[in-house]
Amino acid sequence: MATVTLRNIRKKYGEVEVIKGVDLDVADREFVVFVGPSGCGKSTLLRMIAGLESITDGDLMIDGTKANDIGPADRGLAMVFQSYALYPHMTVADNMAFSLRLAGVSKEERMRKVTEAANVLHLGPLLERRPKELSGGQRQRVAIGRAIVRQPKVFLFDEPLSNLDAALRVQMRIELAKLHEKLEATMIYVTHDQIEAMTMADKIVVLQGGVVEQVGSPLELYHHPRNLFVAGFIGSPKMNLMPGRVIGRAEDGITVELANGIPFSVPVRGERVNPGDEVTVGIRPEHLSLSPDGEIAGTVLVTERLGGLTFLHIQVQGDVVMIVQADGDEAASMHDHVRLSVNPKGCHLFARDGQAVEHVNRHHLIEPGAAGRRSA
Amino acid sequence: MSSAKSGVLSFVLGWGAALLLFFPILWMLLTGFKTEVEAIATPPTLFFSPTMENYQAVFQRADYLSFAINSVVVSVVATALAILIAVPAAYVMAFFPTKRTRGTLLWMLSTKMMPPVGVLVPMYLLFRDFGLLDTLTGLVIIYTLMNLPIVIWMLYTFFKEVPPEILEAGRMDGARAKQEVTLLLLPLALPGIASTSLLSIILCWNEAFWSLNLSAHNAAPLTAFIASFSSPEGLFWAKLSAASTLAIAPILVFGWMSQRQLVRGLTFGAVK
C-alpha cells in the first residue's frame, strides 16, 4: 500500500509563490500524471513530494504519515529524472545497486535484485557497461531499473521521455504502462505532453500557474473540461473556441447564437447562464463536419493530411479559424468554399468567468464520480 | 588568412612565448654550471666548460635535504588541509546557494587582493604569542589560509560542472550528505580536485614572503634556502643559480609530469 496525500501544499521562493495551495489524493497503485504548460509548477510539485524541494506550507502525507520534514533519502520513493542522472563513473549494475549498497544489502542479494530488474527491462547484456556507452533509450531503461531495484513506495517520473526521439517515446510509453501493470506500484508522472498524459494516466492533474485546474480521468478531462484552460489544453488539435451569446433556454439545453447569427442548441444545464450572456462556445474538431447544408460558411486555409484523418483549417466569419477533423478521403482543398455542420452534443459552453457550464449527460465511458480506472 | 598561415603563425607565437617564459629558467640553469667569473662576464659567455663546483659549495654550506623536506611537508600538508576544508564549503556553495553565496565568494577572493605585508605585523605577533614562529605547524596554517580562497573558488567551479540531478538521484537512492560527497561528487570532480591540489602545492612551494618572515631555520623551506645565498657574503650569482635550480627542480619536474592533468583541470569548464 502506498498512498500520497497533499493538503494545501504551498511553495514560496522569497515573495514569489509558485505552488498556490494544492490538494490531491493519490490512491494506491494509481498512475497519476501532472500535466501543464512549462512553468506551471508541475516539476516543483513532484520535487516537493520527492523531498528535493522544501514545502513552505501545507501537509504531505505518504502512506498516512506526515512527510514534510523527512529527508529524500528516508521517504522511500524513487525518482526517474529527465536527464536520467545516471552515475557516470559506475557501471550499469553499480548504478542500479547503488541504493542497496547504501542500505547495506549484501553483495549476493544486490546481484540478485539487479539481475531481476535487468531481466524485466532487458538490460542483461549491458550490466558491465558505463552510462556513456549506452544509447538514450538504454540510459532511460537503466534509470528506471535503478528505481525498480529500490522497490519504492511510489515511483516519481520527471518528464522521463522528453529526451528520446519520437518513435522511442511511443515505445517507452507502452513499456511504462506495462511496467505499471506488472509492478502494481503507485506512480506519479510529470509531463508537458498531453498525449503521454492521456494514454498512460488513471488520473490526470492539470496545473497552471501553481494551481490545480482540474483532476480527473483522461476521458473526464476530455469530455467534461471544467474550464476554458483545460478545454484548450487537453486534446490535439485544440478545441475550437468561439464567442457566442445565449439567446434562449430550452428543456434540453441552452440556445446560443454564434457571431454569424446562427443559433443552435447545446445540451447543458442552464442554471449558470441567462439569456443575453456573452459566452464561449467550444467545439472539438471531430464534432464539426463538412456538409453542403451546414450552418457555418468558410474557406479552407490549410489541409493537413495524416492519411487516415485530415485536419482542415477553415476561416469562418471574422478572423476566426476553426479546425475540422475530416476523413482521410475528404477531397476539400485549399481556397475551397465549404460549409460546416456542428454536432451540438459535442459542444461545450463556458460562462464569462471561463468556467464550464455542466453538460446534461455525462459521457458514457465515464463512471459517475470515478476519478480513475483503478481507484473506483 | 588561410588556415595553414594561421597555423604557422600560432606555432611561431606559441613557441616564441614559451621560449620567452622559459629563458630565465634556462639562463639560471646554465649560470649554475659556470664559474663565478663567467657568471658575471659581459657579454655573457655562451660556450663554457661546465663545472660542478657551485653545487658542491651549495651542498657544503647548507643542508639542502632538510630544506627540501620542509618544503614538501608544508606544501603537501597545507594543500591536504585546504582541500579538506574547501570541499564541504564548495559543495554547499555550489549546490545549496543562498543569496549571499556570490558575495561570500567575492569577499574570499578579495582577501587575495590585499598585499600580505599589510598584515605582517599582526601575523608575526600572533605567531610569536602562540609559539608558532619557525615551526612547520605555523607555516602549514598560514599556507592553508593563504590558499583557501583560491582552492574554494576552483573547487566551486568544478563542482558547478557536476549536474545537480546526479546528486539528487543519489539523495533519492538514500545517500546522506557525506555519502553524496564521497561516493558521487568527489569521484566525478576528481580531475578538478587533482588540478586544484597541484596548483595549491605549486603556490605553497613558491611562496617566499611568509616563509622568509615566519621561519628561520627549523621550519625553513627551499625559498629560505635560496635566500640564504643572496645576502651574507655578497651576491654570488653562480652559487645562487645553483641553489635556485635545486630549489625549483622538484616542483618543475612535478609540474611537467602532471601538466596534462593541470591543463585539463584548468580548462575543465571552458572546453566542454
Yes or no, beta carbons of B171 and A99 under 8 Å apart:
no
Q: What is the pLDDT of residue B231?
A: 63
Domain A237-350 has CATH 2.40.50.140: yes
How far CA B63 is from CA of A109, B28, B243, in Å, comes to 59, 21, 11
CA dihedral B191, B193, B195, B196 (to 10 degrees): 160
- Using a CB-CB distance cutoff of 8 angstroms, which residues of chain A are in contact with residue B168? 52, 72, 79, 81, 85
A103:B172 CB<8 A: no
Please list every residue in chain A whose beta carbon sits closer than 8 Å to the beta carbon of residue B174: 73-74, 99, 102-103, 150
Interface ipTM: 0.85
- Cβ-based contacts of B171 with chain A (< 8 Å): 51-52, 71-73
CB contact under 8 A, A81 and B165: yes
Q: What is the DSSP string of A292-347?
A: TT-SEEEEEEEEEE-SSEEEEEEEESTT-EEEEEEETT----TT-EEEEEE-GGGE
Amino acid at B246: L
Q: Do A73 and B172 touch (CB under 8 A)?
A: yes
Residue A364 to residues A227, A342, A358, A361, B139, Cα–Cα distance (Å): 20, 20, 15, 8, 83
Residues of chain B found within 8 Å of residue A102, distances taken between Cβ atoms: 173-175, 179
Q: Pick from A123, A103, A98, A76: which is nearest to B166 by CA?
A: A98
Closest residue by Cα to residue B164 from B195, B185, B192, B194: B185
As a whole number of angstroms, the distance between CA B101 and CA B107 comes to: 10
Q: Can you list the domains of chain B with their CATH numbers?
A: 60-266 (1.10.3720.10)
Chain A contact present for B176, CB below 8 A: yes
From CA A77, how far away is CA B16, in angstroms rounded? 60
CB within 8 Å of B169: residues ≥ 6 apart: A79, A81, A85, A86, A87, A146
- The answer, for B163 touching chain A at a CB cutoff of 8 Å, is yes
Long-range contacts from A290-294, C-beta under 8 angstroms, 24+ separation: A290/A324, A290/A326, A290/A330, A290/A332, A290/A338, A290/A339, A290/A340, A290/A341, A291/A339, A291/A340, A291/A341, A292/A339, A293/A339, A293/A341, A294/A338, A294/A339, A294/A340, A294/A341, A294/A342
Shortest CB distance from B169 goes to which of A71, A77, A81? A81
- Return residue ranges of chain A for CATH 2.40.50.140: 237-350
Instruction: Return the pLDDT at A157.
Output: 95
CB contact under 8 Å between A87 and B169, yes or no, is: yes
Q: Which residue of A has its CA nearest to B169?
A: A85
Interchain proximity A87–B166, CB inside 8 Å: yes
- Report how far residue B146's alpha carbon sits from residue B125's, in angstroms, rounded to the nearest whole number: 18
Q: What per-residue confidence (pLDDT) applies to B127?
A: 93
Q: Show pLDDT as tens, one digit a residue, over chain B (272 residues).
A: 567 788 899 999 999 999 999 899 888 888 888 888 888 877 887 778 888 888 888 888 888 888 999 999 999 999 999 999 999 999 999 999 999 999 999 999 888 888 889 899 999 999 999 999 999 999 999 999 999 999 999 999 999 989 999 999 999 999 999 999 999 999 999 888 988 998 899 999 988 899 888 888 888 888 888 888 776 556 778 888 888 898 888 888 888 887 777 666 655 443 33
**Given this model, what pLDDT does residue A311 score?**
94
Phi, psi of B161 (to 5 degrees): -75, -15
| Model pLDDT, residue B126 | 94
Interface of A with B (CB under 8 A): 50-52, 71-74, 77-79, 81, 83, 85-89, 98-99, 102-103, 146, 150
Strand, helix or coil at B122? helix
Cα nearest neighbour of B180 on chain A: A102
Tell me the count of A-B CB pairs closer than 8 A: 57
Q: In chain A, which residue's Cα lies nearest the Cα of B174? A: A73
What's the predicted TM-score (pTM) here?
Answer: 0.83
Name the residue in chain A with its Cα closest to that of B187.
A89
Q: Shortest CA distance to A35 belongs to which of A27, A25, A47, A46? A: A46
Task: Write out chain B residues lying below 8 Å of A51, CB-based.
Answer: 171
CA–CA min distance B176, chain A (Å): 7
Q: Which of B173, B182, B185, B186 to mutate to test the interface with A (most CBs of A within 10 A)?
A: B173
Shortest Cα–Cα distance, B79 to chain A (Å): 25
Q: Is B208 within 8 Å of chain A by CB?
A: no
Q: Which amino acid, B168?
A: E
List where CATH 3.40.50.300 sits in chain A.
Answer: 4-229
Cβ within 8 Å, pair A72-B168: yes
A89 contact residues in B (CB cutoff 8 A) = 187-188
Residue in A closest to B185 by C-alpha: A87
Residue B229 to residue B238: CA distance in whole angstroms: 10
Tell me phi and psi for residue A327, to 5 degrees: -65, 155
Architecture of domain A4-229: 3-Layer(aba) Sandwich (3.40)
Per-residue pLDDT of chain A (376 residues; tens, 9 = 90+): 689 999 999 999 989 999 999 999 999 999 999 999 988 999 999 999 999 999 999 999 999 999 999 999 899 999 999 999 999 999 999 999 999 999 999 999 999 999 999 988 888 899 999 998 998 889 999 999 999 998 899 999 999 998 888 888 888 899 899 989 988 899 999 999 888 999 999 999 999 999 999 999 999 999 999 999 999 999 889 999 988 899 888 777 888 888 777 787 888 887 788 888 889 999 999 999 999 888 888 999 999 999 999 999 999 877 789 999 999 888 888 888 999 998 888 889 999 898 998 888 888 888 765 444 443 3
CB nearest A85 (choices: B169, B176, B187): B169
CA atoms within 13 A on the CB side of A283: 27
Residue owning grid cell 659556470: B34
Whether residue A87 and residue B168 make contact (CB cut-off 8 A), yes or no, is no
Q: Which three cell numbers stand for residue A173?
A: 510509453
Q: DSSP secondary structure string, A23-62?
A: EEEE-TT-EEEEE-STTSSHHHHHHHHHTSS--SEEEEEE
Instruction: Name the residue type at position B140.
Output: V
Determine the Cα–Cα distance for residues A57 and A202; give it in Å rounded to an integer. Answer: 28
- Tally of CB atoms within 10 A around A106: 9
- Determine contact: B166 vs chain A, CB below 8 A: yes
